[in-house]
Amino acid sequence: MKPSPRLNIVSKLQAKLSDRRAGRMASSLGKILLVGGFIALATPARAALTINIQQFGSDVVASESGSLDLSGLGLVTSSGSTSIALLYPTGGTIAVGTPGSSSVYTGFSTVGSLGSGGFTVASSYTGTLTEADKADSYLFLPHNYTSGTQLNGTATWNNTDFSTLGLTPGASLVFSWSGDSITVNAVTPVPEPATAVLPMLGILFLLAIWQRRRSLRMQAAPLA
């Protein structure tokens, strides 16, 4: 039995509508993929590592976060070693994490400085090793480090401050190469809440005295 002409027309309309929906979906998907491609091309694939040096109470602590892409660096040796965690602002050197076997790289450039302080060994350390040395142009990473592996070392200098270590608050030192970068920040200390409140209390006190004197002068004016 042949389908009726009406059914044929309905089927054809449904097929056309289906084709149009598929076309619109394909067009939308194409646009999404195109935009995504442009974003991917415009966004550099840099992991980057940040080492922040901060004052915590009576101690100074350096902590790292992030990972690195070794592309563009040259391997000096995979049999290096680091024996201490240290800070050397004048030489642009910092080492955080647990000392031990390391792979040594070179081939980066540096911009900035950390201060004028001398060589100071850390009181304690934790986590993975990283040493960035501007003076000798060496970068020490954990033995056979693989690009993209997370780094999370720390180093602590007990009972000291930025001034004693010769760190300039707000200073920054950047080690960079074609594949990635390391940024070392001497983070400007944040005033303690009580310290920040005292100047404001002083201003309010002086304002209250001024208002009191002004009120007394206005009261005395009619008598004069």
Query: Are the C-beta atoms of residues 100 and 130 closer than 8 Å to each other?
Result: no
Measured distance CA(141)–CA(81) in Å, rounded:
9
Higher pLDDT, 36 or 61: 61
What pLDDT score does 189 carry? 81
> Would the CA dihedral through 84, 58, 64, 117 be positive or negative?
negative
**Is 168 strand, coil or helix?**
coil
CA-based diameter of the chain, in Å?
A: 120
Is a pLDDT exceeding 50 seen at residue 87?
Answer: yes
- Closest of 167, 148, 187 to residue 49, by C-alpha: 148
Please state which of the ranges 31-40, 71-80, 128-137, 150-159 shows the lowest mean pLDDT.
31-40
The candidate with the shortest Cα–Cα distance to 118, out of 92, 90, 93, 94, is 90
Taking the CA atoms of 201, 207, 210 and 212 in sequence, report the sign of the dihedral they define: negative
Minimum mean pLDDT range among 48-52, 124-128, 130-134, 202-206? 202-206
Return the closest-CA partner of residue 82 out of 123, 116, 113, 128: 128
Q: Of the given ranges (30-44, 78-92, 94-108, 156-170), which has the lowest mean pLDDT?
A: 30-44
pLDDT computed for residue 37 by the predictor? 45
Measured CA distances, 218 to 8, 105, 214, 223 (Å): 99, 77, 6, 10
Q: Span 75-104, mean pLDDT?
A: 96
Q: Which two tokens stand for residue 114?
A: 């950390």
Is-contact 70 145, C-beta < 8 A? yes
Among the residues of 68-137, which ranges form H helices?
none
Q: Model pTM?
A: 0.67
* Placement of tokens 């540096």 in the chain: 110
159, burial (CB in 10 Å: exposed 0-12, middle 13-18, buried 19+): exposed
CA distance 112 to 104: 22
**Mean predicted confidence (pLDDT) in 178-193:** 88
**Domain spans in the chain, listed from the N-terminal domain onward:** 1-43, 49-186
Decide if pLDDT at 196 tops 70.
Answer: no
d(CA 150, CA 147): 9
Burial class (CB in 10 A: 0-12, 13-18, 19+), 167: buried
For the chain, the residue count is 224
Confidence category of residue 201, pLDDT binned at 50, 70, 90: low
Residue from 105, 117, 80 nearest 182 by CA: 105
Going across the sheet that includes 93-96, the strands are: 74-82, 100-106, 138-142, 130-133, 93-96, 86-88, 120-121
